[in-house]
Amino acid sequence: MAISTSSLSGLTIKRMDHLGLVSGMCRELGIAKMIDALIPKNNEHKVTHGEAFVAMLLNGLGFHSRTLHM
């Protein structure tokens, strides 16, 4: 089956490397929700414990060059 190039003109390609896969799997598996169920948020923090864990995981895998506290 041939695909014409005119039908692909509105598409863009984004490179996500392995971090998009890890982020997607964390979301699909509900990692943050599981952690939040075990450690409920009890103060007025901006992020939950689960969100912080996923952020640290992605940061450790090279998602961002700056540390999380910055």
For the stretch 41-62, pLDDT in tens is: 888 888 999 999 998 888 787 7
For the stretch 12-29, pLDDT in tens is: 776 656 677 888 889 999
User: Are the C-beta atoms of residues 32 and 26 closer than 8 Å to each other?
Assistant: yes
* Whether the predicted pLDDT of 2 surpasses 60: no
pLDDT of residue 32: 94
Is residue 52, in this structure, part of any structural domain at all? yes
* Whether the predicted pLDDT of 35 surpasses 90: yes
* Angstrom distance (rounded) from CA 58 to CA 4: 37
Is residue 67, in this structure, part of any structural domain at all? no
Query: Structural domain of residue 41, as residue ranges?
Result: 14-60
Is residue 5, in this structure, part of any structural domain at all? no
- Section 3-8 average pLDDT: 55
On whether the pTM is more than 0.75, the answer is no
* Angstrom distance (rounded) from CA 25 to CA 32: 11
Q: What share of the chain is helix, strand, coil (3-state, %, to 5)?
A: 55, 0, 45
